[in-house]
Structure 1
């Protein structure tokens, strides 16, 4: 039976990794400590990806389209991981029955694309925090289930950059206000997509270019199956 505390390290040939390896000092309690570490990492990942999706939901169709791209990639990874022949050929962790997730992922992709039909610029319906946080949570949990959570920084690079841009903006503003008595900004506005919006880029162009970057990151994620 596959241990839940096992995961896959991208770009390495011998890529299976167990959180228990980090807590060997615990002796007979290593298994318990590994689970505690796994739970902490899981909470962090779900929180980070959910927040990233929420940050990305600032322009019409941006979070929805990006999530659909990420979902399609996770569907491919889930199918390959659940297929004994493909998993053996690609030297990836075989996860029995993970191919069944493709049904759910297909529904996820269908719902995001269906929503995108009305959410594309100019949007007729809006997602809000409830939708964007749910999208991020679903993506994070799917990645964890198929033991590909360490690929999230690559696959969800758009979410990551949006998150980081806000952290950089807030941190720099607080630091300069404390040092100079006046807060200064790195970007015209955070998250990052609003920076480009204030620079005069049309909303539709920003969204389309973010989608292109998202597709590029998805391709890189798939390519990691052979770059080891």
Structure 2
């Protein structure tokens, strides 16, 4: 609210001026992050299933007045119904993951990964947990940042020294570990472990505030 208080006592009427760009940013960032994560078998699908499970818990407690009051979070009437949708999303990703694990038999492509990222971002916004996206979707954000850092550093060093240098062996981040000799299944497993830790941390923030 402090961003728009300069507009006067009716500043709340202009909250959409700040909210809409934030929504656009989150949807774009997470969609792109999911797309970048979909570079090795099972990575985007597995992490999306974990994030979806986290969102299901957040939606359920937000729509339950008893838990919402206990956790001192915003109670949103009927939002618990969205748990059904996100549970279907998790089920779909797990079903897809069965055939997408290494060596993959099927691939989702850009259409699938961008849609998955969009669903996650929009769902988080619908249940008013958009500020938890940076923690919950940490893997997607790390993949995004690795590309941004790689490209920026390469361009900067090329302009300065005439030859571009790299921060990572290859971007996005999972390809860096591939270049270091890690097997695909090991990279996916470790990224998923990190994703589980981030999901648990996200849920813990409901009480640890």
Per-residue deviation at 1:33? 2.5
Pick one of 139, 142, 147 that aligns with 1:158.
139
* Cross-structure match for 1:57: 38
* CA-based RMSD: 1.0
Q: Does 1:147 align with 2:105?
A: no
Per-residue deviation at 1:21? 4.3
Q: Does 1:83 align with 2:64?
A: yes
Q: Distance in 2 between matches of 1:32 and 1:189?
A: 46
Q: Distance in 1 between matches of 2:21 and 2:204?
A: 29
Q: Residue deviations 1:63-85, cap 9 Å, x none?
A: 00000000000000000000000
Pick one of 93, 98, 102 that aligns with 2:74.
93
* Cross-structure match for 1:12: none
Question: For residues 1-228 of structure 1, what are the structure 2 equivalents within 5 Å?
Answer: 20-27=1-8, 30-228=11-209
Q: Residue deviations 1:167-200, cap 9 Å, x none?
A: 0000000000000000000100000000000110
Q: Distance in 2 between matches of 1:36 and 1:132?
A: 29
Q: Distance in 1 between matches of 2:201 and 2:171?
A: 26
Q: Distance in 2 between matches of 1:105 and 1:124?
A: 25
For structure 1, the 5+ residue unaligned runs are: 1-19
Per-residue deviation at 1:225? 1.2
- Alignment TM-score, normalising by the size of structure 1: 0.90
Q: Distance in 1 between matches of 2:2 and 2:128?
A: 16
- Alignment TM-score, normalising by the size of structure 2: 0.97
Per-residue deviation at 1:48? 0.4
Per-residue deviation at 1:31? 3.6
Per-residue deviation at 1:25? 1.4
Q: SS at 1:22's partner residue?
A: coil
